[in-house]
């Protein structure tokens, strides 16, 4: 079989970080995708090392993932026996129960749907258990924690010598690079930005190597750097320094893992093997009500119950900020009750409140953990674990909705175990690699998405699978392997990412991603066809010709789909972006021959959309509405999956 593992292939050597100067593959990020890639590459004799920003690798985040057929195929080929280990740690073939409970005034009848395990083919497993299983396959000596990446420098054989790794490391102590590398000493700060610009414009070909830089740690030279560092990726920021930041998706999440053997020891929550999804949205014969409140309860394996509460807000609404706002209101009311003294006379209020607001604006959206002494995920836009007031906030919302059946479960949970975060995604990219084809993205850094369809971890495993196959087949021709990897992944991942954005809490984003004018019956049909398609992996990677809604799309349609997804909520400054779209496919064994190559110019403009209903005040969510010029990107019938998009086609080959 093509790309099969040679049973006699030597294991890659392990190296101590103290003596580390260069590696074959430098993987930035010790999450699920990064560890899966490391396990697959090292099994094939490729010297892959993992560099993780956090002080330690295994952190509990009260998070659950679900895995299905596409993940099992990818994981089995990455490292035989891995799926069996994960299934032992999780719960196989879960029964899924969907309960739609719209409010009575909506006029939509409640609905309950149940899918047996044989139909769902769903396995639930704790995130930390998955990470632990993967970490056991990667030697401790090649996992380097406390290594926050700050940027990289691609090197060409014909170019002047790059700034030394030592100089970059020293400069990184005082600054984090956002332009492709750390701001280096001795005038080398723009090394990567200049090289990248020159490479993009001159087409001088693949780089010979790449140097990745860390804050407070020596730089490392590699044949390939893989950015698997999540939705707030430092590698992606270096690769695309001018792109919009992660896009808020209109949902706040609270989740927890509670030790509750049998699903009923501490509190009666679920039966063994059940996944229960409840929403206050619904569908009638001729209308659809979007959810403002969603809850999950399920068997997480190992005697644990997982629960999650998701609320809709037009802008991020972290508990610490909500409590601050309430505190300021109480202080203002108290001052008024104390005699309504002039703001200037008592030395507070106007300027003081403005100063407080200014301070808040300087704190990242994950301000809960920043204030409480946390770091890492908090600074990148998440609330974190154990936020004071988060438990009561969930209880109040559940009681207001009349969901008394879930109140005992949340009430029995220690607040210190509840994890708060906002949901974000990234805008789709047509190109996941740096100009020299020695740096490439994987997982959330390439296609961070809304968790609604449950495909975040699964697509990361698909990425790791395809990149491993490509490198094993073409090593040491890294640039060729990177191209093959992107041929296999970009179109598929962008389609899944677009479908995931249809589940978000912002109407503007949903409207840009979803086909317009579908009936409730068509929406259900499209959703079920989606699951049929992605479960076929690695067959039909770009679409299923037997489906109505998920047929394979052309290169031109893919360009349109990416622009449609980016159209609303992008927040990008007006810009012209050049892109290349290829229709090549790799099914895990061979690469398809035929491909369509287009060069397109997309014109976008700034815009803004206000939140509907004022649920969290006026929305700060920006929306770069796609402005189309030139030839239509799709056939008659409304564009890509029904979304009408226009592109200026510069050249077709």
Same domain? For 110 and 258 the reply is yes
Same domain? For 358 and 388 the reply is no
Confidence class for position 57, pLDDT limits 50, 70, 90? confident
Same domain? For 451 and 501 the reply is yes
Q: Which residues of 456-490 are buried (b: 16+ CB within 10 A; e: fewer)?
A: bbbbbbbbbbbbbbbbbbbbebbbbbbbbbbbbbb
Same domain? For 379 and 308 the reply is yes
What is the rounded CA–CA span in Å between residue 170 and residue 452? 42
C-alpha count within 13 angstroms, C-beta hemisphere, residue 562? 28
- Dump pLDDT digits (tens) for 383-441: 899 999 999 999 999 999 999 999 999 999 999 999 999 999 999 999 999 999 999 99
Q: Does residue 219 form part of some domain? A: yes
Q: Does residue 229 form part of some domain? A: yes
Same domain? For 24 and 164 the reply is yes
**Can you say whether residue 571 is alpha, beta or left, with left for phi > 0 and alpha for psi between -120 and 50 degrees?**
left
Same domain? For 335 and 238 the reply is no
Same domain? For 379 and 456 the reply is no
Instruction: Give the mean pLDDT of 237-261.
Output: 96
Contacts of 161 (CB under 8 A, 6+ apart): none
Last residue of one domain, picked from the residues 448, 471, 505: 505
Same domain? For 358 and 369 the reply is no
Same domain? For 275 and 385 the reply is yes
The domain of 9 spans 1-79+137-245+427-505
Q: Kindly tell me if the per-residue pLDDT of 126 is higher than 80.
A: yes
Same domain? For 352 and 472 the reply is no
pLDDT at position 382, please? Answer: 54
Lowest mean per-residue pLDDT among 28-32, 317-321, 329-333, 342-346: 342-346
Same domain? For 108 and 148 the reply is no
Q: Does residue 23 form part of some domain? A: yes
Give the pair of three-digit tokens for residue 480.
Answer: 């060729």
Using CA atoms, how far residue 613 sits from 314, 375, 507, 513, in Å, is: 9, 33, 11, 21
pLDDT at position 228, please? Answer: 98
Element of type H or E holding 223: strand 217-227
Q: Does residue 598 form part of some domain? A: no
pLDDT at position 137, please? Answer: 98
pTM passes above 0.85: no
Where in 495-542 does DSSP place strands (E)?
Answer: none
Lowest mean per-residue pLDDT among 33-42, 135-144, 166-175, 478-487: 166-175
CATH (domain of 294): 3.30.9
Confidence class for position 287, pLDDT limits 50, 70, 90? confident
Q: Does residue 489 form part of some domain? A: yes
Counting the structural domains of the chain, the total is: 3
Q: Does residue 84 form part of some domain? A: no
pLDDT at position 538, please? Answer: 96
């Amino acid at each position: 079989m093509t790309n099969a593992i040679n049973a006699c292939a030597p294991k890659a050597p392990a190296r101590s970080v103290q003596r580390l100067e260069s590696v074959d593959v430098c993987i930035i990020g010790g999450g699920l995708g990064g560890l899966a890639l490391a396990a697959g590459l090292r099994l094939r004799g490729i010297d892959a090392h993992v560099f993780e920003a956090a002080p330690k690798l295994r952190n509990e985040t009260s998070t659950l993932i679900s895995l299905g057929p596409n993940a099992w195929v990818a994981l089995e080929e990455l490292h035989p026996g891995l799926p069996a280990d994960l299934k032992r740690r999780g719960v196989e073939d879960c029964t899924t129960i969907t309960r739609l409970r719209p409010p009575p005034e909506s006029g939509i009848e409640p609905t309950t749907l149940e899918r047996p395990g044989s139909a769902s083919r769903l396995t639930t497993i704790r995130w930390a258990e998955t990470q632990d299983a993967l970490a056991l396959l990667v030697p401790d000596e090649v996992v380097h924690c406390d290594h926050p990446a700050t940027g990289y420098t691609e090197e060409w054989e014909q170019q002047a010598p790059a700034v030394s790794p030592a100089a970059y490391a020293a400069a990184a102590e005082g600054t984090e690079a956002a332009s492709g590398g750390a701001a280096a000493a001795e005038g080398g700060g723009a090394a990567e930005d200049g090289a990248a610009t020159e490479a993009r414009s001159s087409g001088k070909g693949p780089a010979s190597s790449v140097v990745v830089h860390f804050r407070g740690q020596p730089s490392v030279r590699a044949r390939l750097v893989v950015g698997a560092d999540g939705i707030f990726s430092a590698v992606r920021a270096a690769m695309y320094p001018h792109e919009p930041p992660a896009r808020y998706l209109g949902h706040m999440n609270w989740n927890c893992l509670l030790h509750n053997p049998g699903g009923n020891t501490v509190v009666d929550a679920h039966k063994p093997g059940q996944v229960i999804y409840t929403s206050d949205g619904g569908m009638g014969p001729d209308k659809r009500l979007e959810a403002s409140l969603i809850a999950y309860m399920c068997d997480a394996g190992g005697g644990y119950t997982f629960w999650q509460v998701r609320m809709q807000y037009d802008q991020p609404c972290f508990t610490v900020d909500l409590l601050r706002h309430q505190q300021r209101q109480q202080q203002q009311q108290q001052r008024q009750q104390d005699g309504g003294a002039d703001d200037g006379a008592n030395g507070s209020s106007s300027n003081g409140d403005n100063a407080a607001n200014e301070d808040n604006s300087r704190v990242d959206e994950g301000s809960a953990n920043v204030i409480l002494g946390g770091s890492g995920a908090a600074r990148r836009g998440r609330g974190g674990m154990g936020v004071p007031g988060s438990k009561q906030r969930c209880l109040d919302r559940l009681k207001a909705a009349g969901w008394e059946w879930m109140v005992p479960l949340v009430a029995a949970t220690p607040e210190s175990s509840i994890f708060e975060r906002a949901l974000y995604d990234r805008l789709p990219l047509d190109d996941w690699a740096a100009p020299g084809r020695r740096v490439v993205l994987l997982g959330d850094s390439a296609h961070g998405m809304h968790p609604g369809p449950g495909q975040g971890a699964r697509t990361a495993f698909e990425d790791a699978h395809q990149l491993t196959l490509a490198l094993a087949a073409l090593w040491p021709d890294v640039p060729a392997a990177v191209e093959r990897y992107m041929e296999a992944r970009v179109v598929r991942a962008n389609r899944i990412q677009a479908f995931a954005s249809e589940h978000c809490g912002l109407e503007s984003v949903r409207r840009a991603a979803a086909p317009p004018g579908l009936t409730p019956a068509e929406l259900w049909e499209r959703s079920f066809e989606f699951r049929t398609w992605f479960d076929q992996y690695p067959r039909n990677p770009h679409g299923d010709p037997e489906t109505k809604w998920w047929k394979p799309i052309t290169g031109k349609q893919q360009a349109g789909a990416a622009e449609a997804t980016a159209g609303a909520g992008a927040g990008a400054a007006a810009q012209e972006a050049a892109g290349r779209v290829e229709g090549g496919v790799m099914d895990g064994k061979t690469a398809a021959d035929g491909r369509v190559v287009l060069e397109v110019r997309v014109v976008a403009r700034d815009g803004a959309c206000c939140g509907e209903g004022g649920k969290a005040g006026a929305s700060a969510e920006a929306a770069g509405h796609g402005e189309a010029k030139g030839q239509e990107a799709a056939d008659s019938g409304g564009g890509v999956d029904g979304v009408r998009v226009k592109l200026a086609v510069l050249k077709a080959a």
